Structure 1
Amino acid sequence: MNKDTWIKPKDLDTPLNEVFPEVMTRSTVRDFVRRTEKVLKVSPKNIEKMGYIELNSYVDKLDNKLIELEVESE
């Protein structure tokens, strides 16, 4: 992920399409994280307490695992 498009902690409740213009969904970053944690069956992390780098690393990790799961199911 390019640092120009990194999520800031203040963006947790901002619709994803406002953070990333190429994204079509209006779900928030927080919604994405919580739903992805449920799909992947991982324990929820306290994203509100994460710093900038930790938050972005965690979101990237979840996104990559979700992509892997989608590829496996094809």
Structure 2
Amino acid sequence: QRLQGFFDAISKAGIEYEYIELRGEPDVELVNYANHEPFEFVVVGSRGLNTFQEFVLGSVSHKLAKRSLSPVIIVR
């Protein structure tokens, strides 16, 4: 329900999409999914952690970019 406005907007724009919900550790699940599907590229958002937070917590988008077999576009 929270994403319905987003889905409506991209459908109206004629953009094809598929909603997939993964469960588990975000970096592990996203890398596994990205590497087991034939994607031309992967687009992922970044929360914009500061340097210290990223060092301590790690960055899901950074891990995906390093480990994905497809090119990764990180959107901030």
- TM-score bracket, shorter-length normalisation: under 0.3
**Structure label with greater radius of gyration:** 2
Question: TM-score, normalised to structure 2's length?
Answer: 0.25
